[in-house]
Amino acid sequence: MNKYIIAIDLGGTNLKIGLLDLNNKIRRKSVFNTRKYSGKNGLIRAIKTVVEIIIKEQGLHKRDILGLGIGVPGPVDSLKGIVHFFPNIPGWKEVKLASILKSELRLPVFLDNDAKMMTRAEYALGSGQGYRNILCITLGTGVGGGIIINGELYRGLDNAAGELGHLPINEDGPHCNCGGKACLEAYVGNSRIMKNAEKLFKRRISLEELSLRARKNDRLALGIWKDVGKKLGVALTAVVNTLNLDAIVIGGGVAHAGNILFDPIRETIHQRAMKVQARRVKVLRAKLVNDAGLIGAALMVKEGLKK
């Protein structure tokens, strides 16, 4: 009998639940609007219900499921399976999510932060394959990141490593939600990019339109992406010189802008990083895109069960 893994990617906007086989192929995927569920308990109940439906629908039993992996949008204690809080979903504070789901579903449950899911997935099966020391970053409302050192996910003692969004790129600058100042995220988070665009275009403009306009050589739109790319490039220069990385994998909504964004990133690193480090590092677009969260969660379950 084949075995399966349940993977969950909880985001501020979408809740994705998938069934994956042991080759990391997604057999079934459901996507819900996270905001539809009122509060923490509503969300947990929804997860439980959907997981049970998926198992039944596929003619499976609990014993066919090796475990459940869940990636969440905020800081966690991955060993104890505790969510510290979510910057963009209210009502969560020090929630023992892994043990709640475990007792509700009677399955082994593994929990980690979403940027670490993406990092695992891209490293094992995406653009990061074959490299040894990499940084993955996701560009969205927030700027998250994960680091692989010598082929292993590097966490730091508080599981808080990889917070590239909070690398300061200037001595002084705008205040950031984290309490810091001049953090990368305070310049290139989605909402900041859209605010800058609104000022220039005198109306609200989506990131998709901004990319489209840039591709059609709109000077204003190109200028915005160039500036975002330069700022990312300065932050990445810091990491490249410090860690002598082999590769940087960039994903998340904003990465869809493509070369309009990647060209100024590469150019800035090339101009500013030390020669040896600049020559070494590849700047790559994430490959697994929307499925990285689910694939990473499944990989986490397999890894967790081995220990």
* List of residues contacting a second copy (CB under 8 A): 75, 132-133, 145, 147, 149-150, 154-164, 166-171, 178-181, 230-231, 234-235, 237-239, 241-246, 271-277, 280
Q: Which is nearer to a second copy, 67 or 145 (CB)?
A: 145
CA–CA separation, 19 and 99 (whole Å): 20
CB 260 to a second copy: min, Å: 19
CA–CA separation, 167 and 181 (whole Å): 9
Q: Which is nearer to a second copy, 109 or 186 (CB)?
A: 186
CB 296 to a second copy: min, Å: 19
| CA–CA distances in Å: residue 18 to residues 83, 217, 254 | 21, 39, 24
295 with 121: CB under 8 angstroms?
Answer: yes
The amino acid occupying position 153 is L
CB 151 to a second copy: min, Å: 12
The amino acid occupying position 208 is E
CA–CA separation, 189 and 228 (whole Å): 9
Pair of tokens at residue 55: 């198992």
CB 25 to a second copy: min, Å: 32
Spell out the residues 6+ positions from residue 63 whose beta carbon is closer than 8 angstroms to its own: none
Task: Let me know if 72 is exposed, middle or buried by CB neighbors in 10 A (0-12, 13-18, 19+).
Answer: buried
Q: Which is nearer to a second copy, 1 or 157 (CB)?
A: 157
Q: Which is nearer to a second copy, 26 or 238 (CB)?
A: 238
Q: Which is nearer to a second copy, 42 or 151 (CB)?
A: 151
Chain-centre distance for alpha carbon 290: 10
Q: Which is nearer to a second copy, 64 or 246 (CB)?
A: 246
CB 87 to a second copy: min, Å: 11
CB 141 to a second copy: min, Å: 17
282 with 266: CB under 8 angstroms?
Answer: no
